[in-house]
Amino acid sequence: MDSLLIALLAGVGFWVAYHTYGRWLGSRIFALSAKAVCPSKRLEDGVDFVPTSKGVVFGHHFTSIAGTGPIVGPAIAIMWGWLPALLWVVFGSIFIGAVHDLGALIVSLRNNGQTIGDIAGRVLNRRVRWLFLLVLMLSLTIVLAIFGLVIASVFKLYPAAIFPCLIQIPLAIGIGYWLHQRGVNLLFPSILALGVMYLTVFFGDHGALGEFNRALASWSAWTWVVVLLVYSYVASVLPVWTLLQPRDYINYLQLVSVLGLIVLGLLVAAWFGGAPVESGGVRPPLELAAPAINLSPVGAPPIFPFIFITIACGAISGFHCLVSSGTSSKQLTCEPEARFVGYGSMLVEGFLAVLVILACAAGLGLGLTSDQGTVLTGEEAWSNRYASWSEAGSLGAKVGAFVQGAANFLQALGFSATAAVALMGVFVASFAGTTLDTACRLQRYVIQEFSGALFRRRDGASSRGIGYWLNNRHGATIVAVFLAAGLAAAPQGGQEWSLQNAGTGGLILWPLFGATNQLLAGLAFLVIAFYLWRSRRPVWFLVLPMAFMMVMPFWAMLQQVFFGYAGQPSWWSQGKALLCGIGLATMVLEIWMIVEAVRLFPGIRQVIDELASERTEVPETGEVAES
């Protein structure tokens, strides 16, 4: 019953926060106005700037920011205890993450849909813009290089998930074209597509379909990375209504249905117990098998500051500011809808992270087959999966803990073990895929903005040659894909290149991503704060979140580079020059941006920002509206 109570209280807390703090931010702080003309209408081009209903934008936004982030982070951070992880997810989502996402979305809406990095040059100065864009390019290159590997790993673990994920693509394209031509509602065809996808899930281990899935699961990581990057290129250059919007909306419906099943399974397991682990056996009780607090897990880094770096997307993530300011701001048709999309989607992601915590802390205890073939329950099951930080920290272990725990909830409803695991495997792989193609489109925007600043002539006209090519969506996307492919292809540990070890190169820089990603959130807060200050609006509510998200990543990066933890040597002592170099450069960048901000702050309200675009308003009655 404790697990069920936690889920209910978290859900109610998020609902109350949306209708109180979220409403206050939208109406009092950002003054969202229904009269404002959004960039999707003012700059409509049918490719990137496309006016879209808020439900579809919400589906795109949520599936893009979620990915595997709210799964893998809580699934490892629970080693410090389910209580610290739960508190960070709930309070971080409400007061930090959702504020960050909403602020980035609104600032972009009021600056022609530009990314947060480009806007930094408007509200701070040009040097900050260059620095910010460099950080964005690094972060997105790591995401593109690693998420292909993530999807390949999930496919190898759960082959039945392959065909359902692949079939989404032609289904989404067909729906996109049909809706674009006829202008009908997206809901019914998306539900139909979801039903087709689920049928392939339940038959994924049978007959020719099973053989197909197992054949593709045998592909090397490098093969999958190449295939997925080619897909990302195509998805990035196509108009958003062709693939991105319908695919993300299908995945959003998948999320709603799966979350509903998990909550229903949690309810049944809380009252009646989980599915019997053996035929004719008793239903095991639902209990929190994980410790509430464990400050010294075997081989783990210290809880401070690393829990705030380990759990990113479930509480706050710098990647979200890229989605808010990169794609979602180009699709919203009405300012008040920003609260629903920006603030609301982060709270839903927080609720997903809560369910991940419960799946690992309690669901795993309903039954787990050990490596020796024995079925474990309760604390034995949890301890078997979480024996040490290194064992629980691998990708397979993190994803597997959630998949098995959530599948146990589904089995309590009567699902077979095979179907439940396959359904959760599709869930994880689908969200990783949406993050991959959105990240590629975002990297294209960043490269275009970067090249625009670098090659633009003094008279303001666009340059020709390489500058013109990089400003083209095909040229910028090709660069984005080749940067990611180059990183992914690099062999680890000085090994010679081969097809067997290629594809995992993203893991070289992956240790940097947690701190860099969270630092990006702190820098985004800095841009939002300066925008509000220039607009003569309150910024006091941003001060603590901004400081917190600058101090914690810096602290974590400093410890990794120079000091190490729990017997693990530092990068410096291991001679990892690349990690040390980028880590040091990132810390210098943060200090540099803070110095620039402090230098500019005293007179910022006297500066007239002639470059920043003013909101165009339509002559309609009504000042402020809320969605």
In which band, very low, low, confident or very high, does the pLDDT at 465 lie, cut at 50, 70 and 90? low
**For residues 53 and 438, what is the distance between their CA atoms, to the nearest angstrom?**
18
Instruction: Tell me what pLDDT residue 624 has.
Output: 43
156 falls within a domain: yes
Cβ atoms within 10 Å of 450's Cβ, excluding its own: 22
626 falls within a domain: no
Instruction: Tell me what pLDDT residue 83 has.
Output: 97
CB 359 within 8 A of CB 262: yes
Residue with the larger pLDDT of the pair 133 and 172? 172
Under DSSP, is residue 5 helix (H, G, I), strand (E, B) or coil? helix
Residue 458: pLDDT above 70? Answer: no
- Three-state SS sequence of 15-55: HHHHHCHHHHHHHHHCCCCCCEECHHHHCCCCCCCCCCCHH
265 falls within a domain: yes
Domain membership of residue 489 as a residue range? 2-617
Residue 195: pLDDT above 80? Answer: yes
Give the bridge partners for 37, in sequence order. 616
Among the listed residues 501, 521, 508, the one whose alpha carbon sits nearest the alpha carbon of residue 580: 508
Instruction: Tell me what pLDDT residue 626 has.
Output: 45
DSSP structural state of residue 329: G
Instruction: Tell me what pLDDT residue 612 has.
Output: 42
CB 243 within 8 A of CB 172: yes
569 falls within a domain: yes
DSSP structural state of residue 342: I
DSSP structural state of residue 570: P
In which band, very low, low, confident or very high, does the pLDDT at 463 lie, cut at 50, 70 and 90? low
**For residues 545 and 522, what is the distance between their CA atoms, to the nearest angstrom?**
8
How much is the mean pLDDT over the chain? 88
| pTM for this predicted structure | 0.92
CB 453 within 8 A of CB 121: yes
623 falls within a domain: no
Residue 286: pLDDT above 90? Answer: yes
Lowest mean pLDDT among 182-196, 323-337, 528-542: 182-196
622 falls within a domain: no
Instruction: Tell me what pLDDT residue 128 has.
Output: 75
Per DSSP, the residues of 145-192 read HHHHHHHHHHHHH-GGGHHHHHHHHHHHHHHHHHHHHH---SHHHHHH
Instruction: Tell me what pLDDT residue 451 has.
Output: 82
Residue 469: pLDDT above 80? Answer: no
Rounded average pLDDT over 529-543: 90
Query: pLDDT tens-digit profile of 383-438?
Result: 999 988 888 877 778 889 999 999 999 999 999 998 899 999 999 998 888 889 89
**For residues 109 and 116, what is the distance between their CA atoms, to the nearest angstrom?**
11
Residue pointed to by tokens 């820089």:
509
Rounded average pLDDT over 507-516: 87
Rounded average pLDDT over 120-125: 75
**For residues 43 and 48, what is the distance between their CA atoms, to the nearest angstrom?**
9
Rounded average pLDDT over 284-312: 94
Residue 601: pLDDT above 80? Answer: no
Tokens standing for 369?
A: 């087959």
Lowest mean pLDDT among 38-52, 159-173, 496-510, 533-547: 496-510
pLDDT-above-90 percentage for the chain: 55
Instruction: Tell me what pLDDT residue 625 has.
Output: 43
Instruction: Tell me what pLDDT residue 19 has.
Output: 98
Please count the structural domains in the chain: 1
